Amino acid sequence: MSAKLLEVSDLCMRFGGLAAVDNLSFAVEKGAIHGVIGPNGAGKTTTFNVISGFYKPTAGTVRLRGETISGLRMYEVARRGIVRTFQHSTLFSEMTVLENVLVGTHLNYRPNIFAAIVGWDSDDRRAARAKSEETLEFFGLLERAGDRAGDLPHGHQRALGLAIAMVARPEVMLLDEPFTGMNPEETNSMMSLMFKLRDNGVTILIVEHDMHAIMGICDVITVMNFGKLLAKGRPDEIRRDPAVIEAYLGSARDVA
Amino acid sequence: MRSVSGRVGIWLLLAAVLVLLPHALSFSQQEILVFLTINILLVASYRLLTLTGEWSLGHAVIMGVGAYASALYTKEFGIFVPVSMVLGACTAALVAMILSYPLFRMKGFYFLIGSFAAGEIIRLFWNRFREPFGGPKGIKRIDPMPDFDILVWQFDFFEPVSYYYFSAVVVGASLWLMWRIERSPVGLTFHAVHWQDKLAEATGVNVRAYRTLAFVVASGFAGLSGALLAHYIGAVNPNIFDLELMVFVLTWTIIGGTATIYGPVIGCIALTIVNEIVLREFGLEQMRPFVYGLLMIVSVLFLPKGLESLVQKGLARIASSGLDRDMGRERETPGS
């Protein structure tokens, strides 16, 4: 068994009286593609928001390589190696494709205002640009580098979202519903991109509705329902788990 | 090669125009030119602040902080005027740094109102405390810029022409610095914070630190413009830096446009021409708020991207016609 990279233990997130996440525990292994699924309102996105530092958890901890990261701000979590993407096409749509990716290089080439004025950062700038172009090439976006990001077709916009996260060279990528609104062709090319990312040593945690995609790419799946852990296991185990089937389709009693 | 030499030529032409300009103007117009130069720095620094997406209503007061600080440093401690101007700019930046702690807990509209309140608090301080701020009457007899000679040229800074040259150099250098900042990765991060602060933060950008950085640097340049003003007019009081000036800054910025560094500068120049030449010539100064309001509405309706969009279109046309010419010549070469 390989090492636990990201560990969520006894996580609770309450909004007023509502427990969006209730005593959730799971661990993500290094190098895995780990899926989090569940019916609408199961608390998947909230879990994501807590891990990435968007929310502070009410109770419980998130640990990366043993270090507690829950409660840190989002940029501090990013600096420790967890970079997230957002639902829908959240991009810097007024900026060019290349500029979008250049923002992602911020972590590795931290800009400095004095060096920028004097021009001492030209090595960094050149390296950041080379890295960005390399990443765009990886995602098949290099020929559109000069286009406005908002003008890209939907599939390319989602790929650009991944590119921004990828260029930061994260250890863990959190992908929030990357397959939403994609046609089967785009879904397939996105799936192969994720395999490529995993082969590059990135650990991936996905929240997703698209069952076909999630069953196809995940090594491990965690199923949530009403903020609680319902099941975890390999895709074929999850597919046959009666509790999961009940949560998705309703029990026989509900139907009758 | 040709485009580089062409660009150098354009800059040299601009410099020549700027050097010769005051000699074509009357004395009162020369004075207006000095104010225009100082206002260009103010409005350009305001645009630097708006790069991160936050619009402040305290910028005119921050300019005043630079003016008061520089005036007091020369008066109380006898500091050499150009040095105290830089110190005044640093003081304005420092005050902005302190203000940023409460202000950047807010965003958007709340930041706008908060910055206005913060500015009014500073103005109340100036009004309330005779020592050292001089109360409502402000500070008078501020040391002027000391005269000096460069080779055969003598600069007497009571002369608007001399002060114009001095402030043009300072403002030009400041604009260059701001341009360097915007073209750098720091500037790119400012834009990123503006368009999608959540995504920027998710990629490791400390959004609040960058908002603060833009605010502090912009305030420093605003403070420098205030210091330039203080040592020219020789007296400052709280009413110079009131909401009316702030509304002018907003009007220049909106009419000029904020997409480029020259947008607000064009807006400032155009409205100063309207103000000082057209309105004064026809004796319509009483109608200034009306005219400004009308221009603002007209520009929002018909030029939503500001005067700069006209320049951008013009530049694009020149570039494309230049390209056509080059292509035409290339096509000729094989035949000849």
Q: What is the band of B336 on the pLDDT scale with cuts at 50, 70, 90?
A: very low
**Higher per-residue pLDDT: A232 or B178:** B178
Output the CA torsion sign for A43, A46, A48, A51: negative
**Contact yes or no for B195 and A90 at CB 8 A:** no
Name all domains of chain A by residue range, CATH numbers in brackets. 1-81+172-256 (3.40.50.300), 89-169 (no CATH)
Q: Which residue has the higher pLDDT, A40 or B295?
A: B295
- CB nearest B203 (choices: A124, A128, A164): A164
Tokens of B79: 């500091």
- The answer to whether residue B332 scores a pLDDT higher than 60 is no
3-state secondary structure of A221: strand
In DSSP terms, A213 is beta-bridged to: none
Which chain B residues touch A135 with a CB distance below 8 Å? none
Residue B75 lies in a domain: yes
**Mean pLDDT over residues A210-222, rounded?**
83
Residue in A with minimal Cα distance to B178: A117
CB-based burial of residue B58 (10 Å sphere; 0-12 exposed, 13-18 middle, 19+ buried)? Answer: buried
pLDDT of B331 above 70:
no
CA A240 from centre of chain: 26
State the smallest CA–CA distance between residue B290 and chain A in angstroms.
Answer: 35
| B260 and B154 housed in the same domain | no
Nearest to B193 by CA among B209, B179, B181: B209
Distance from CA of A128 to the nearest CA of B (A): 10
- Chain A contact residues (CB < 8 Å to B): 52, 54, 73-75, 78-79, 83-86, 90-95, 99, 102-104, 106-107, 109, 111-113, 116-117, 121, 124-125, 128, 164-165, 168
Enumerate the residues of chain A whose CB falls inside 8 A of the CB of residue B192. 92, 95, 103
| B294 in the same domain as B227 | no
B183/B44 same-domain check: yes
Confidence of residue B328 (pLDDT cuts 50, 70, 90): very low
pLDDT tens-digit map of A101-135: 999 888 888 888 888 888 788 888 888 888 898 88
Q: How confident is the model at residue B238 (pLDDT cuts 50, 70, 90)?
A: very high
B223 lies in the same domain as B282: no
Last residue of a domain, one of B212, B240, B268: B240
Min Cα separation A65/chain B (Å): 19
The arithmetic mean of pLDDT across residues A77-93, rounded, is: 85
Q: To which residue do tokens 């419980």 refer?
A: A60
Q: Which of A73, A86, A96, A103 to mutate to test the interface with B (most CBs of B within 10 A)?
A: A103
What percent of chain A has a predicted confidence (pLDDT) above 90? 5
- Give the lowest-confidence range in A177-191, B25-39, B260-274: A177-191
Q: Which of B189, B214, B240 is the last residue of a domain?
A: B240
Residue A103 vs residue A238, higher pLDDT: A103
Which of B19, B93, B40 is CA-nearest to residue B229?
B40
Q: Is A200 exposed, middle or buried (0-12, 13-18, 19+ CB in 10 A)?
A: exposed
Task: Label residue B177 by pLDDT band (50, 70, 90).
Answer: very high
Q: Does residue B332 form part of some domain?
A: no
Q: How confident is the model at residue B312 (pLDDT cuts 50, 70, 90)?
A: confident
B177, B61: one domain: yes
Q: How far apart, in whole angstroms, are the C-alpha atoms of residue A168 and residue B200?
A: 12
Closest-CA distance, B110 to chain A, in angstroms, reads 21
Domain assignment present for B102? yes
Mean pLDDT of B285-306: 84
In a domain, B326, yes or no: no
Question: Inter-chain contact B185–A74, Cβ cutoff 8 Å?
Answer: no
Residue A98 has pLDDT above 50, yes or no: yes
B16 located within any domain: no
Search chain B and give the residue with CA nearest A175: B202
Domain with B290 in it? 242-321
Confidence of residue A250 (pLDDT cuts 50, 70, 90): low
What pLDDT, on the 0 to 100 scale, is given for residue B333?
Answer: 40
ipTM above 0.90, yes or no: no
What is the reported pLDDT for B121? Answer: 94
Predicted confidence at residue B335, as pLDDT, reads 37
B14 inside domain: no
Q: B262-295: buried (b, 16+ CB within 10 Å) or exposed (e) per residue?
A: bbbbbbbbbbbebbbeebeeeeeeeeeeebbeeb
Contact flag A107-B217 (C-beta cutoff 8 Å): no
Q: Does residue B74 sit in the same domain as residue B195? A: yes
pLDDT band (50, 70, 90) for residue B2: low
pLDDT-derived band at A138, boundaries 50, 70, 90: confident
Contacts of A89 (CB under 8 A, 6+ apart): A154, A157, A158, A161
Q: In total, how many domains does chain B have?
A: 2
Q: Do B203 and A52 touch (CB under 8 A)?
A: no
Whether residue B245 is predicted with pLDDT greater than 80 in this model: the reply is yes
pLDDT band at B324 (very low <50, low <70, confident <90, very high): low
Examine the pLDDT at A255 and tell me if it is beyond 50.
Answer: no
Average of per-residue pLDDT across B310-314: 87
* Confidence band for B131, pLDDT divided at 50, 70 and 90: confident
Q: Examine the pLDDT at B24 and tell me if it is beyond 90.
A: no
Same domain, B94 and B195: yes
> Mean per-residue pLDDT for A247-254?
60
What's the confidence (pLDDT) of residue B306? 85
Chain B residue whose CA is closest to A174:
B202
- Binning chain B into helix, strand and coil, the percentages to the nearest 5 are 80, 0, 15
Under an 8 A CB cutoff, do A93 and B188 touch?
A: no
Look up residue A58 and give its amino acid: T
Report pLDDT for A229: 79
Q: Is B74 part of any domain?
A: yes
pLDDT of residue A251: 53
* pLDDT average, residue stretch A156-170: 87
CA torsion angle A54 A55 A56 A61 (round to 10):
-80
Is residue B249 classed as helix, strand or coil in its secondary structure? helix
User: Residue A92 and residue B186: Cα distance in Å, rounded?
Assistant: 16
CA distance B193 to chain A (A): 9
All residues of chain A having their beta carbon less than 8 Å from the beta carbon of residue B193 are none
Select the residue of A52, A93, A111 nearest B189 (Cβ to Cβ).
A111
More confident residue, B208 or B130: B208
Q: What percent of chain B has pLDDT over 70?
A: 94
Last residue of one domain, picked from the residues B207, B240, B273: B240
B47: amino acid identity, one letter? R
Most confidently predicted of A238-252, B213-227, B250-264, B266-280? B213-227
Do B278 and B159 sit in the same domain of this protein? no
Quick one: B128 and B208 in the same domain? yes
Nearest CA in chain B to A170: B203
Whole-angstrom distance, CA of residue A11 vs CA of residue A16: 16
Residue A1 has pLDDT above 70, yes or no: no
Q: Supply A110's token pair.
A: 């931290």
Residue A133 corresponds to which tokens in the numbers above? 């172009």
**What tens digit of pLDDT does each residue of A146-158 get?**
888 888 888 888 8
Instruction: Kindly state the average pLDDT of the residues B51-71.
Output: 93
What's the confidence (pLDDT) of residue A87? 80
- A85, A103, A113 ranked by CB distance to B181: nearest: A113
Q: Considering the domain boundaries, does residue B333 fall inside one?
A: no
Chain B residues in contact with A78 by the CB 8 A cut-off are 201-204
Residue B93 pLDDT: 96
pLDDT per residue as tens digits for the range B187-197: 999 999 998 88
* Pair (B68, B130) in one structural domain: yes
In order, the DSSP letters of B133-163 are H-GGG-B-SPPPPPPEEETTEEE-TTSHHHH
pLDDT score of B26? 85
Say if residue B140 is in the same domain as residue B262. no
Q: Does one domain contain both B181 and B223?
A: yes
Q: Are residues A179 and A210 in contact, defined by beta-carbon separation less than 8 angstroms?
A: yes
Neighbours of B303 (CB within 10 A): 16
Specify whether the backbone of B60 is left (phi greater than 0), alpha (psi in -120 to 50) or beta.
alpha
- pLDDT of B86: 95
